């Protein structure tokens, strides 16, 4: 049985869906509480504090999604998922490093050794991009 190539669509759908849910829910709840509450307007403020950052995140995600082609999005999502660990307490900054590696993978700037290292983290999830050239020098 052959595996379908990894598309990364699930990764992007979850990121965009969760961001949209909290953006719409937070801003909608804020409007609701501002319209119905007469004494405690702080509830609306709390929901604005939740909704606005998720709205900004949603806008950023949609721009990133539209900026790259299918293969670049798939490679980015693959690199993120390869580095993701189910450990509940990861060190601070780990996500930032994972996103930086994924951006380099998406842009084709990882060396063959770096791609092999990523592949070895989850061998059952094949690399969705073109086969890298073994003669390419590692990026700085």
Per-residue pLDDT in tens (0 to 9) along the chain, 140 residues: 456 667 778 889 999 999 999 999 999 999 999 998 777 788 899 999 999 999 999 999 999 999 999 999 999 999 998 888 766 666 667 888 889 999 999 998 988 899 999 988 888 888 888 776 654 444 43
**pTM beyond 0.85, yes or no:** no
Q: Report the alpha-carbon distance of residue 105 to residue 114 in Å, rounded.
A: 9
Kindly tell me the sign of the dihedral angle through the C-alpha atoms of 107, 113, 115, 121: negative
Q: What are phi and psi of 6, to 5 degrees?
A: -70, 130
How many C-beta atoms surround the C-beta of residue 10 within 10 A? Answer: 11
Closest CA to 79 of 61, 64, 99, 65: 99
Length of the chain (residues): 140
């Amino acid at each position: 049985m052959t595996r379908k190539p990894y598309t990364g669509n699930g990764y992007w759908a979850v990121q965009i869906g969760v961001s949209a849910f909290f953006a719409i829910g937070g801003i909608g709840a804020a409007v609701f509480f501002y319209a119905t509450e007469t004494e405690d307007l702080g509830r609306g403020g709390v929901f604005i504090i939740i909704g606005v950052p998720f709205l900004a995140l949603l806008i950023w995600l949609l721009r990133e999604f539209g900026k790259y082609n299918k293969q670049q999005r798939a490679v980015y999502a693959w690199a993120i998922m390869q580095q993701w660990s189910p450990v509940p307490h990861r060190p601070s900054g780990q996500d930032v490093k994972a996103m930086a590696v994924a951006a380099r993978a998406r842009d084709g700037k990882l060396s063959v050794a770096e791609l092999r290292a990523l592949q070895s983290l989850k061998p059952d999830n094949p690399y969705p991009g073109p086969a890298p050239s073994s003669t390419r020098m590692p990026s700085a």
